């Protein structure tokens, strides 16, 4: 009898919690399309939903398929992203689309926004650890290794050969986020997220992207820098996830992007206000 009573109380708690959350959620709807990173999969969206970083209607897709197809955010991934967007446009006519990407998925979104002719369905973008360009990431990796530095000095085509052997669909001198930043429509609000502890996509690479956007006149661009969290894990780090979650909801509320939880948005307003540093001072930490 006691077990039945406890179960009853638990069910009541869940129902009350859901009704409270529903009442606290923004009335306007949107659909979030999540683009995972290299080595990830579509199921990664669940962790973001469990932490309420992504809330409400959401859609995800396989960003790159087989590893042999990877183009590191270029034509192959952009084509898959466009297919996902067009599917939503055809089936969810009354909704606005928010793009939310991680690492290569974030770079794919930046490349897409700066190169595809029709981005009218996109109302906002949240980019976690986007790289400015692949060449810059490779230079960081090479500079950290003495042996790689020596090989690179001896063989001027070392990087090109390495990329071709592993990711033959990628072109180093092809489309890169930093190259198309000035072409991204300026009415689209963009939130960049980076961590000081990210060693795969260093903080300065995401800062470089922020600087390029601001310098080209994007007044709705923000950068949130947190102190803790490795690559692809900062949103779930115990010292960072609440800040990221609250700022994302505040960002959605500020630009009327929908599917935010008002209590989180209010909690993140002060931190969001500090996410538009001057280009020369973009190392400020939240």
User: Looking at the predicted structure, is the pLDDT value of residue 228 above 90?
Assistant: yes
Domain membership flag for residue 233? yes
User: Tokens 């995800």 correspond to what residue?
Assistant: 60
Question: pLDDT, tens digit, for every residue of 111-130?
Answer: 999 999 999 999 999 999 99
Residue 167 lies in a domain: no
Dist CA 106 CA 100 (whole Å): 7
How many angstroms separate the CA atoms of 236 and 229, rounded?
8
83 in any annotated domain: yes
Beta bridge partners of 25: 261
Please give the structure tokens belonging to residue 81: 């992203």
Residue 140 lies in a domain: no
Query: Which pLDDT band holds residue 6 (cuts at 50, 70, 90)?
Result: very low
Q: Could you tell me if residue 164 is inside a domain?
A: no
CATH number for position 221: 3.40.50.1820
User: Does the pLDDT of residue 178 top 60, yes or no?
Assistant: yes
What is the model's pLDDT at position 3? Answer: 57
Residue at 215 is within a domain: yes
Give the mean pLDDT of the chain.
89
Banded model confidence at residue 26, pLDDT cuts 50, 70, 90: low
Q: Give the pLDDT score at 17.
A: 52
Residue pLDDT, tens place only, 36-76: 999 999 999 999 999 999 999 999 999 999 999 999 999 99
Categorize the per-residue pLDDT at 151 as very low, low, confident or very high, splitting at 50, 70 and 90. confident
Answer whether residue 224 shows pLDDT above 80: yes
pLDDT score of 14: 43
17 token code pair:
């919690």
Q: Give the residue with greater pLDDT, 204 vs 95.
A: 204
Range of the domain at 94: 30-132+173-281
In the block, residue with structure tokens 């898959």: 80
pTM comes to 0.89
- Specify the range with the lowest mean pLDDT, choosing from 10-14, 34-38, 159-163, 244-248: 10-14
**Look-up of token digits 């000035």:** 182
**What value does the mean pLDDT take over residues 179-199?**
98
Q: Could you tell me if residue 14 is inside a domain?
A: no
pLDDT for res 275: 98
Split into its structural domains, the chain has a count of 1
For residue 187, being part of any structural domain is answered with yes
């Amino acid at each position: 009898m006691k077990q039945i009573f406890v179960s009853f109380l638990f069910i009541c708690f869940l129902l009350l919690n859901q009704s409270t959350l529903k009442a606290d959620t923004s009335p306007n709807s949107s659909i979030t399309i999540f683009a995972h990173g290299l080595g990830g999969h579509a199921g990664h969206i669940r962790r973001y939903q469990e932490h309420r970083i992504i809330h409400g209607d959401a859609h995800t897709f396989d960003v790159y398929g087989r590893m042999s197809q990877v183009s590191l955010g270029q034509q192959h991934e952009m084509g898959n992203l466009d297919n996902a967007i067009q599917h939503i446009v055809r089936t969810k006519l009354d909704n606005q689309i928010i793009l939310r990407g991680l690492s290569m998925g974030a770079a794919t979104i930046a490349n897409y926004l700066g190169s595809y002719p029709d981005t009218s369905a996109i109302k906002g973008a949240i980019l976690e650890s986007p790289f400015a360009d692949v060449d810059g990431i490779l230079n960081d990796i090479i500079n950290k290794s003495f042996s790689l530095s020596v090989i690179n000095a001896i063989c001027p085509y070392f990087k090109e050969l390495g990329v071709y052997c592993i990711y033959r669909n990628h072109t180093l001198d092809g489309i890169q986020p930093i190259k198309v930043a000035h072409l991204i429509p300026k009415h689209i609000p963009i939130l960049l997220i980076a961590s000081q502890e990210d060693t795969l996509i260093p903080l300065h690479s995401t800062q470089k992207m922020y600087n390029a956007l601001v310098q080209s006149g994007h007044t709705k661009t923000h950068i949130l820098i947190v102190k803790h969290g490795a690559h692809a894990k900062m949103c779930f780090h115990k010292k960072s996830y609440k800040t990221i979650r609250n700022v994302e909801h505040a960002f959605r509320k500020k630009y009327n992007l929908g599917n935010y939880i008002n209590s989180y948005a209010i909690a993140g307003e002060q931190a969001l206000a500090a996410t538009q540093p001057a280009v020369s001072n973009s190392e400020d930490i939240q």
